[in-house]
Amino acid sequence: MASHRRPKPASRTRVTVLTATAAAAVAISSQAAQAAPAKQTLKSVKAQVTAIYDETEKVTEKLDGAKEKQEKLQKQVSEIQDEVAREQGELNGLQDQLGALASAQYRSGGIDESVQLLLSADPDDYLDKASTLDQLSSKQADALEQIAAKKRSLDQQKAEAATKLQELDDTRAELAKNKKEIQAKLAKATKLLNSLTAAQRASIAASNASAASRAASRVDLGDDTAATARAAEALAAGKTKIGSPYVYGASGPNSFDCSGFTSWAYAQAGVSIPRTSESQASAGTRIYSQSQLKPGDLVIFYSDYHHVGLYAGNGMVLHAPRTGESVKYESIGDMPFQFGVRI
């Protein structure tokens, strides 16, 4: 007769280990599920990248403004320093003349107190002593007056130079900050794009290229004419740059940001306009009605004026849109229109 034995019950230790292992497996699985990021859709990534590029353009205009300010300050500082050098030379010449006068008096019998005062370090202090001026000849008084005036002017120029140099340092710091912010935003956009598959990235590139091609070949600009000859020339120049890439801080001739494109176009017409979109917003006569816009007018977009293009006619603008895109035509209704500017 076969022996029937009941299975040996699992030990408490073994049950505990198995239970702990199962619990750990569940916990790890749960954590992995939480840690694994949800795969973003192509549409979601494109929307995020577009938003980042829009933010980048705002900072780019600040960068352009800081660059323009830096160039002006550098020129002003150079001019002031040249003036300081010139006035220092004139002051040295006046003091030499005064020294010659003192030497002549010494040779003729010694330097009196009035001439000694002429040679003092602070001629203004001497001039305040009106009673002593009576002891001076008119020639001596004139020499002292000139020295005092020149010294005041020189001190003022030096103070102005110091102020401008500090402002220049602050502007350079602002430039560095703007560049760093732009680079961080572009790096973020690149990281998002790199999270896509090669096929998805190719799809975005093909879509952008196709849109640009359609815009260039099928756009109907109507038959309206520019309000001025310079506006017509600026628009004509801008059309030759269709397809040129957007690059932050660039102002041509091979790449552009938005205000770099418009300032370059007008420069080809012999007209100098400010470098940034915010400044260009005040560069001419504002046109608030879209129906009154003429080809070549500047068109300002967004409430903070951070984007600008050229009105091309029939509700279309020619502009440098954003990073990743090129100079192209686009409907004026695609962006929040503020007003036009007639140069």
Which residues are the active-site residues?
Answer: 258, 307, 319
Tokens coding 1: 């007769």
Identity of the amino acid at 92: N
Whether the Cβ atoms of residue 249 and residue 183 lie closer than 8 Å to each other: no
d(CA 128, CA 147): 14
d(CA 170, CA 189): 29
d(CA 190, CA 270): 38
What are the CA-CA distances from residue 260 to residues 64, 233, 241, 296 (Å)?
9, 16, 12, 15
Long-range pairs of 208-212 with CB within 8 A, sequence gap ≥ 24: 208/324, 208/325, 211/328, 212/243, 212/325, 212/326, 212/328
Q: With 0-12 CB in 10 A as exposed, 13-18 as middle and 19+ as buried, what is 324? A: middle
Across the beta sheet with 285-287, the strand order is: 285-287, 337-342, 298-301, 307-313, 316-319, 328-331
CA dihedral 287, 290, 295, 299 (to 10 degrees): 60
